[in-house]
Structure 1
Amino acid sequence: MTLVIWAEGRLVGSHEAALSAVDHGITVGDGVFETCTVLDGQAFALTRHLARLARSAHGLGLEAPDEQKVRDGVSAVLAAAESGAGRFDGRLRITVTAGVGPLGSGRVPGAQTVVVAAQDGTMAPESSSARSPWPRNERSPIVGLKTTSYAENVVALADAKAKGADESILPNTVGALCEGTGSNVFVERGGELLTPPLESGCLAGITRALAVEWGAEAGLPVREASIDELPFSVLNEVSAGTAQLTLTSSGRNVQPVTVLDGVPVVAGEVTLAVREVFERLCRERLDP
């Protein structure tokens, strides 16, 4: 397996010390990140990911990341990955933390740490998912931000894996369908493919947005749902076979759920059509 890491201007080994032990990203999870799909050695939708990275930083009260510094790290990592593995497909993660700081929650103004890493891999064509026993707090101060404070997702995903699944599907606190721990969700019902609105507390996913945009461009019935259109109980319809569930993310693209809570379910026709469009266009439009 290929793993290449760039930290603060230099390539480092996976077991090499690269960050301070009192970096705020380590001590209090004070940072933001993005994960991009890598296709043929190039980061997909990098401009969109960097724009969301800046939005997340702003929402967390951090200074905007130095975009050129981040792009330099991306270039260095992908060049090293290509030289070691030839044709390189996988994922790329960009992490920006608040830098070295005190042991408490206070920050040192102007400090910042940038890490970029790439790892090869392939995407699974289908998902086995499970309902989460815990909700997403749509009123959280960090809702919609892609932060390194990921403990809630780690616990929910561990619960799903204990149930034999690879993703956990979360409601929000008012019982609406929200998202997965690392994915957006779509439900196919009534001949349409619907995704929860951002007001539900879900992340404004890059793949989610492109699935909606490209699906609509292709004349397919895919859209963002209204605020009350997708209650969490819609998953009962999925289990019963009257609706279908789909996940989207940079690690999944458009991925039908074929097992929900241990029960086999089928992929929807609109889902498969949107997936076909996405798989074609993501290689034709590398930075949409």
Structure 2
Amino acid sequence: MTATVWVDGRLVDPEVATIGALDHGLTVGDGVFETCGVQDGQAFALTRHLRRLARSAAGLGLDAPDEALVRDAVGQVLRAAGPDAARLRITVTAGRGPLGSGRTPGAQTVVVAASPGLHHLTSSVVRSPWVRNERSAVAGLKTTSYAENVVALAHAVERGADEALLANTVGELCEGTGANVFVERGGELVTPPLSSGCLAGITRELLLEWGAAEGLPVREADPGELAFSVLDDVTAGRAHLLVTGSVRNVTPVVRLDGVDVAAGPLGERAAELFVRRRAQHVDP
């Protein structure tokens, strides 16, 4: 299956140009997006993703996307894509604009696309040499300005990994290029707080909620609690890691910086819990 694509009101051939060359999402990365997993032909946790899409748009100063329009587009795309669809992406840009950073008021481009996707059961990660700026104007927003993540992920792939973990500017563990991270130590799972600059991931959010509801010891860390050096404890076997994301779901880390590491028992419980609850609630 190739990608199935909808742009501004209609399904289009993904190989045919349908977005203007002066679209601000292309020229300066001025846009926001969401990626959802697809379960039984439906976008998983779509309501939460659309809520975050609106938050990201507001954070960039963009008009709120038309939720009814987006939902209709999602339905059209997934019906056309068929059973092989595993990943759905919703992109909203500032539309046609000048070649500089200024915007055209009221302009907007909406794209919805679906494609197959890989399902990870475990993950291999490396420490990134670059950091996340927790004081950035776009910290915590899911924007199309993704070059930093592309470079960091390419660095990880060159080293045989599928994700890179980043510190923030003050040396705290922050997140991956497209995933949140949980540390298992001291009999609990702990994830960096949003103040670290990490994205408020939907899978992260659901694991915190579902884990608490089922008695799994999982929580958000206090600011400063998780230094980036906690990864040394993982390679030494004193702690374990999980990474979470909308397509990878909840996956234990079994390799860090080229060193085999063990999946933790709480992490394995968390992965099982998430798969079970996800099957029960397509839009929790």
AA at the equivalent of 1:156: A
Partners in 1 of 2:117 and 2:21 — Cα distance? Answer: 30
Moved more, 10-19 or 207-216: 10-19
Question: What does residue 107 of structure 2 align with?
Answer: 111
Q: Give 4+ residue runs of structure 1 displaced > 4 Å after superposition.
A: none
Question: What does residue 263 of structure 1 align with?
Answer: 259
Partners in 1 of 2:63 and 2:86 — Cα distance? Answer: 29
Q: Unpaired runs of 5+ in structure 2?
A: none
Question: What does residue 199 of structure 2 align with?
Answer: 203
AA at the equivalent of 2:97: G
What do the CA deviations read for 1:94-148 (whole angstroms, capped 9, x no partner)?
A: 0000000000000011000000000122411011100000000000000000000
Question: What does residue 77 of structure 1 align with?
Answer: 77
Question: What does residue 175 of structure 2 align with?
Answer: 179
Q: Unpaired runs of 5+ in structure 1?
A: none
Question: What does residue 18 of structure 2 align with?
Answer: 18
Question: What does residue 43 of structure 2 align with?
Answer: 43
Partners in 2 of 1:161 and 1:104 — Cα distance? Answer: 33
* Structure 2 SS opposite 1:111: coil
User: For the structure 1 residues 220 and 54, does the alpha-carbon distance in structure 2 shift closer, same or farther, using more than 3 Å as the test?
Assistant: same
What do the CA deviations read for 1:66-120 (whole angstroms, capped 9, x no partner)?
A: 11111111011001012xxxx3451100000000000000001100000000012
Number of equivalent positions: 284
* Structure 2 SS opposite 1:133: strand
Question: What does residue 226 of structure 2 align with?
Answer: 230
Identical pairs, percent: 67
Question: What does residue 166 of structure 2 align with?
Answer: 170
* Structure 2 SS opposite 1:155: helix
Partners in 1 of 2:146 and 2:118 — Cα distance? Answer: 23
AA at the equivalent of 2:274: F
CA contact (8 A) 1:136 1:201 kept: yes
CA contact (8 A) 2:85 2:114 kept: no
AA at the equivalent of 2:270: V
Question: What does residue 145 of structure 1 align with?
Answer: 141
CA contact (8 A) 1:89 1:122 kept: no
Question: What does residue 7 of structure 1 align with?
Answer: 7
- Aligned CA RMSD, in angstroms, stands at 0.8
Moved more, 93-102 or 157-166: 157-166
